[in-house]
């Protein structure tokens, strides 16, 4: 019985990791850009939500709704004026630039918000739970997982049923030919990064409600996101959700055996998947 509970908690935790990873997966899928500042941008968005809740007295959900367009604008600007300049055949410059951004963001946040741990408070929701008969699940983890499924569903709809999604896939396949069709790849990349930052805002909302955060925790979030994306198969959105769930389940099982093993178990699961399926569970057919 306890193991069913552990499994369910692990899958729900995976929803949070999938939210961390969805934006990373989106950006990588479209422009083959690995954003090393992704985790710090999640923490940055969490501080933005915290700031809005503090200043306007809103609850975190409404604050995230306000933060989302601001984060879209930040992502759009970052891509348009910084990352587009370094995208090219060589993958090293964008890595260096996003690494630099990561360091700058961490230190900037440390300066502005201090090293104190913060939390987004949502009152009773934090401890509310639903009894499903076999197991009892927390409302917040359930909401997190549902949001992850929703995000991935909506992203898939955008990708495969809209003109924007068509443009995303076309510039991902071949930016030069896409520009001959009247698309401006750099504008489309900017929209994609903006969209990724909206997902980052949602990830930040759940991160901040679930646990404490401070300016230094970004890189570990990036690591989980990265592992989820790679386990799922680079560029596959549903694969990212599966990847998140695998890490989550491995972590809860590890913690059940010995609380010190939680993080280690996630990393071991990552290594095992890489050994068996080096391209991830659901690699895209065309790369």
Q: Which is nearer to other proteins, 55 or 176 (CB)?
A: 176
Q: Which is nearer to other proteins, 111 or 287 (CB)?
A: 287
Nearest approach, Cβ of residue 187 and other proteins (Å): 9
Q: Which is nearer to other proteins, 173 or 260 (CB)?
A: 173
Look up tokens 């359930």; give the residue: 142
Q: Which is nearer to other proteins, 3 or 81 (CB)?
A: 81
Q: Which is nearer to other proteins, 116 or 287 (CB)?
A: 287
Nearest approach, Cβ of residue 167 and other proteins (Å): 7
Q: Which is nearer to other proteins, 112 or 181 (CB)?
A: 181
Nearest approach, Cβ of residue 148 and other proteins (Å): 24
3-state secondary structure of 73: helix
Nearest approach, Cβ of residue 178 and other proteins (Å): 7
Nearest approach, Cβ of residue 287 and other proteins (Å): 10
Look up tokens 């499924």; give the residue: 149
Q: Which is nearer to other proteins, 139 or 179 (CB)?
A: 179
What letters, b where the CB count within 10 A reaches 16 and e where it falls short, cover 10-28?
A: bbbbbbbbbbbbbbbbbbb
3-state secondary structure of 152: helix
Nearest approach, Cβ of residue 219 and other proteins (Å): 32
Q: Which residues bind other proteins (CB under 8 A)?
A: 163, 166-167, 169-170, 172-174, 176-184, 286
Nearest approach, Cβ of residue 23 and other proteins (Å): 20
């Amino acid at each position: 019985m306890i193991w069913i509970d552990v499994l369910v908690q692990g899958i729900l935790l995976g929803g949070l990791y999938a939210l961390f990873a969805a934006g990373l997966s989106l950006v990588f899928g479209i422009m083959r850009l690995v954003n090393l500042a992704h985790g710090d941008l999640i923490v940055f968005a969490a501080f933005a939500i915290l700031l809005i809740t503090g200043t306007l007295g809103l609850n975190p959900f409404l604050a995230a709704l306000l933060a989302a367009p601001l984060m879209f604008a930040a992502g759009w600007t970052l891509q348009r004026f910084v990352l587009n300049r370094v995208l090219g055949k060589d993958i090293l410059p964008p890595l260096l630039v996003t690494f630099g951004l990561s360091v700058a963001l961490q230190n900037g946040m440390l300066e502005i918000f201090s090293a104190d741990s913060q939390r987004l408070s949502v009152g009773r929701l934090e401890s509310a739970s639903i009894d499903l008969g076999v197991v009892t699940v927390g409302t917040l983890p359930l909401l997190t997982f549902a949001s992850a499924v929703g995000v991935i569903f909506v992203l898939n709809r955008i990708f495969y049923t809209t003109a924007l999604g068509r443009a995303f896939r076309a510039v991902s396949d071949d930016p030069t030919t896409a520009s001959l069709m009247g698309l401006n790849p750099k504008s489309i990349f900017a929209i994609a990064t903006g969209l990724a930052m909206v997902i980052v805002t949602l990830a930040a909302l759940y991160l901040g409600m679930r646990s404490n955060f401070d300016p230094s925790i970004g890189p570990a979030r990036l690591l989980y996101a990265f592992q989820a994306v790679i386990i799922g198969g680079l560029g596959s959105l549903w694969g990212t959700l599966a990847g998140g769930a695998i890490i989550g389940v491995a972590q809860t099982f590890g913690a059940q055996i010995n609380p010190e093993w939680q993080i280690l178990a996630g990393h071991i699961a990552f290594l095992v998947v890489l050994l068996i399926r080096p391209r991830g569970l659901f690699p895209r057919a065309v790369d």
